[in-house]
């Protein structure tokens, strides 16, 4: 694993002393360690002992001019293959879960585009507190990896869960994350998501019920596996997933232009529910009420470009082009026809006649390949995203 580098954030807890042993194990394995000590962390171990073992400078202050001159905090946050937080205190977890950036450690966690591994360490009551449970769930949803905590006797005299994992276990988790965590590293992916909105006049649009949840989950999962993801999104209420470049668009034609601008790419996943038609004209003034308002404005409907078909037939065609087929009947048959007609590699078919699929949190899909079909059970959309990303990664092994 020589040549790899870890950014090690040491939080303020009695377990901070174990960060020294962890640093020693990593250096012995040829992994570079660049330490960041929080203010509280520096109460438990000194920057001097940490930097001596790490053979690198220990960074401590966000607003230090000398530190910024040597390496800006954004550059620092990306200067390693993996960011490790050990010990990850309740405070650091809360900051990271909420995107706070008041010191070097939390700013680094917000600014990094690298995977993050946390080794929590805190008193059992803090670990079991509802706030920490919420933060843990949020961080997991954001793609943060965890090792531990263990159960056992604590420095505070209590017994329970919250003790930081031992350095050899953290070391193993780091090695696993460095080795296999990012099988799509170096691959570029385009994901379309959400509905499109086609303008009728300055205030009205034609749109549909797509929430964007499935497309966002796929974009997040691909990014977690290391892909460089451009998420071309129609109007949704969702926040951009971490480490994903989101391009906001409204109409189908804007969506197509944004996809073409993101080429070349290795993977395209078209999840967006693109409006099939758009008004032939966009009225410059708000249309007045009335039965024949559209006709009076000279409006008919014309077909939108098919983004999936365009990407499949593009001179810079991505190696793997995947479409979605939301159907209410004969799902697999329609999906197979779509695969041929649009010349894509896979169609992810789902039955939207099942109550709660469109706009809901679960999906039951089948993957229709050129040869064969893979049927998956009903599962949360996040899980469909992770499984699809893993399945895509298999194609690139």
CA distances to 37, 72, 79, 308 from 60, rounded to whole Å, are 5, 13, 16, 49
Q: Which residues contact 397 (CB under 8 A, 6 or more apart)?
A: 183
Q: By CB under 6 A, is residue 304 in contact with ligand C5P?
A: yes
Residues 82 and 7: beta-carbon distance below 8 Å: yes
Q: By CB under 6 A, is residue 308 in contact with ligand C5P?
A: yes
Which residues inside 337-396 make contact with ligand C5P, applying CB under 6 A? 338
The residue count for binding ligand C5P (CB under 6 A) is 14
Instruction: Specify the residue, 283 or 304, whose C-beta has the smaller distance to ligand C5P.
Output: 304
Neighbour-count burial for 250-259, b at 16+ CB within 10 Å, e otherwise:
bbbebbbbbb
Please calculate the CA angle 184-188-194 and round it to the nearest 5 degrees: 105
Q: Which residues contact 24 (CB under 8 A, 6 or more apart)?
A: 53
Is 344 part of the annotated catalytic residue set? no
CA 221, CA 212: separation in Å to the nearest integer? 14
Q: By CB under 6 A, is residue 210 in contact with ligand C5P?
A: no
Instruction: Specify the residue, 54 or 274, whose C-beta has the smaller distance to ligand C5P.
Output: 274
Q: By CB under 6 A, is residue 225 in contact with ligand C5P?
A: no
Which residues inside 45-74 make contact with ligand C5P, applying CB under 6 A? none
Among 274, 349, 365, 368, binds ligand C5P (CB under 6 A): 274
Closest separation in Å from C-beta 70 to ligand C5P: 47
Q: By CB under 6 A, is residue 323 in contact with ligand C5P?
A: yes
CA 193, CA 214: separation in Å to the nearest integer? 8
Window contacting ligand C5P (CB under 6 A); options: 19-27, 283-291, 304-312, 387-395: 304-312
Closest separation in Å from C-beta 204 to ligand C5P: 20
Residues 266 and 396: beta-carbon distance below 8 Å: yes
Q: By CB under 6 A, is residue 234 in contact with ligand C5P?
A: no
Window contacting ligand C5P (CB under 6 A); options: 161-169, 226-234, 288-296, 303-311: 303-311
Q: Which of 156, 259, 270, 344 is catalytic?
A: 156
Q: By CB under 6 A, is residue 219 in contact with ligand C5P?
A: no
First to last CA, the chain: 20
Residues 156 and 196: beta-carbon distance below 8 Å: no
Q: By CB under 6 A, is residue 262 in contact with ligand C5P?
A: no
Residues that bind ligand C5P (CB under 6 A): 192, 252, 270-272, 274, 304, 306-308, 323-325, 338
Catalytically active residues are 156
């Amino acid at each position: 694993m020589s040549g790899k580098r870890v950014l090690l954030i040491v939080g303020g807890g009695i377990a901070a002393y174990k960060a020294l042993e962890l640093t020693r194990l990593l250096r012995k394995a040829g992994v570079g360690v660049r330490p960041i000590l929080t203010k509280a962390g520096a109460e438990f171990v000194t920057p001097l002992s940490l930097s001596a073992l790490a053979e690198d400078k220990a960074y401590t202050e966000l607003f230090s001019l000398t530190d910024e001159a040597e390496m800006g905090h954004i550059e620092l946050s990306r200067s390693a293959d993996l960011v490790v937080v050990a010990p990850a205190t309740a405070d650091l977890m809360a900051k990271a879960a909420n995107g706070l950036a008041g010191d070097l450690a939390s700013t680094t966690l917000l600014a990094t585009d690298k995977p993050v591994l946390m080794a929590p360490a805190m008193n059992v009551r803090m670990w079991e507190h509802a706030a920490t449970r919420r933060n843990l769930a949020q961080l997991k949803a954001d793609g943060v990896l965890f090792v531990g905590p263990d159960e056992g006797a604590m420095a505070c005299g209590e017994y329970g869960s919250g003790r930081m994992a031992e350095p050899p276990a953290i070391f193993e988790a780091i090695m696993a994350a460095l080795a296999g965590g990012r099988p799509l590293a170096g691959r570029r992916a385009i994901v379309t998501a959400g509905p499109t909105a086609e303008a009728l006049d300055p205030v009205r649009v034609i749109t549909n019920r797509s929430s964007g949840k499935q497309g966002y989950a796929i974009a997040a999962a691909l990014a977690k596996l290391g892909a460089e993801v451009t998420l071309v999104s129609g109007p949704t209420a969702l926040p951009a997933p971490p480490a994903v470049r989101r391009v906001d668009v409204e109409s189908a034609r804007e969506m197509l232009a944004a996809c073409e601008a993101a080429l070349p790419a290795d993977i395209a996943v078209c999840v967006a529910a693109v409006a099939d038609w758009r008004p032939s004209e966009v009225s410059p003034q708000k249309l007045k009420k009335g039965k024949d308002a559209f006709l009076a404005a000279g409006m008919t409907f014309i077909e939108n470009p098919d983004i999936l078909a365009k990407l499949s037939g593009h001179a810079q065609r991505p190696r793997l082009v995947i479409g979605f087929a939301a159907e209410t009947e004969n799902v697999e048959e329609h999906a197979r026809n779509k695969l041929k007609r649009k010349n894509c590699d896979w169609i992810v078919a789902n039955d939207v006649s099942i109550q709660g699929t469109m706009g809901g949190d679960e999906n039951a899909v089948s993957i229709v390949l050129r040869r064969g079909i893979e049927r998956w059970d009903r599962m949360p959309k996040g899980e469909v995203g992770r499984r699809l990303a893993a399945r895509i990664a298999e194609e690139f092994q």
